[in-house]
Amino acid sequence: MTVVEPLPVRPPETAAEILARAQALAPVLRDRAEEIERARRLPADVVDLLRGTGVFRMGFCRAHGGPELTSIEQTEVIEALAYGDAGAGWCAMIGSDTGLYASFLDHAVAEEMFPSLDMATAGLLFPNGRAEIVPGGYRLTGRWQFGSGVTHADWVVSGAFLYRDGEPEHDSILLMVPKADVEVLDTWHTTGLAGSGSCDYAITDVFVPAEHTLTFAEVRGGSGPLAQPEVHMRNMPGVALGVTRAALDHATDTAVAAGREDDYRTQTTIAECEGDFTAAREGVYGALRRQHEVLSAGGTLDDLTPRERAALPLSRRHAFRTARAIVTRLYDLVQTSAIYRPSPLDRWLRDTTTMCQHIVAQDRILQTAGAHLLGGRPAFPLALGITSSRR
């Protein structure tokens, strides 16, 4: 078993520090990947190790005392953690949204809600719940799926349709609730990503103060590149890229150990997969770099060309789909030894299959990007950072 030195107590202050801690933790996560999968959630000490890397604080802006990592830097951190374990990387990606949500809350409210920058948030943003408007806020009731990390979260954010006096308002909102007010339902029995603990959860008639709600159409406590409506989707490809890099390294090491370095099929398969990985990774980071260039100069998402804006969701989808394709080819390359658990290729095959069912990897993204390029109506406009109903 890999021995890791205790992480420093001092919170990390820079992107380089957070990335270094994530890279140092990756071998530990790899050693514990089978345990994490069996548990179908992250063990408490693994959550503590993730907190120690600073991954949960990386989205907090400097005005909140956070390190304010760029979306590029955040993706690199998630990639490093997913290299160790897909479930841990997925939970880190979801939990790190806390600081990003803070920009859509009043600054003073966020300061009160998040006394520590290392608090994790989970939840489903689609409006599956019902929020009845009452004096001072809302009464929230509902059941949501895919609460990745909900078993260890500090806050749970959920989408809900608005109701007034029992009648629908034909609008929705996001509501943040302390984990103590949430019932976790043990439903997470899946093909892969078992360690993410993405259980269903229920909230029953819980009062949510108005100040604990948000919409991505209104930035209330931040500015700059991270105070944008689609910011929570940007670092998602880090999970797919980290798993793919791990699978490529494993398959390469396995081939060399077996003396197949001069085998034609092995050479061409590894080379083809490396080429596809390099292209997919550069697609992600190239789109992020261009976005950051425009936003950091004071521009908006509307200042991107249609192709540049479409490149953001398309590169995300492509990274997930390419991850699954590469892992499948490597699984076939390794052949029979890949089928025995706990073969990491078996786990990565199931993990990439499962993560490709997320909306960011679905054909709805193709329609959305295509509609944007053609001047049509996108099915999932938030993927483009569009929060209004305009075309």
pLDDT at 315: 98
Check if the beta carbon of residue 213 is closer than 8 Å to that of residue 164. Answer: no
Give the whole-angstrom CA distance, residue 195 versus residue 189. Answer: 10
pLDDT at 203: 98
Q: Indicate if the pLDDT at residue 1 is higher than 90.
A: no
Instruction: Write the burial class of residue 10 (CB in 10 Å: 0-12 exposed, 13-18 middle, 19+ buried).
Output: exposed
Average pLDDT over residues 240-245: 98
Mean pLDDT across the chain, nearest whole number?
A: 95
pLDDT at 338: 87
Check if the beta carbon of residue 382 is closer than 8 Å to that of residue 230. Answer: yes
pLDDT at 201: 98
Check if the beta carbon of residue 196 is closer than 8 Å to that of residue 46. Answer: no
pLDDT at 8: 52
- Find, among 244, 227, 317, 253, the residue nearest to 89 by Cα: 244
Give the whole-angstrom CA distance, residue 118 versus residue 377. Answer: 39
Proportion of the chain above pLDDT 70, given as a percent: 97
pLDDT band at 391 (very low <50, low <70, confident <90, very high): very low
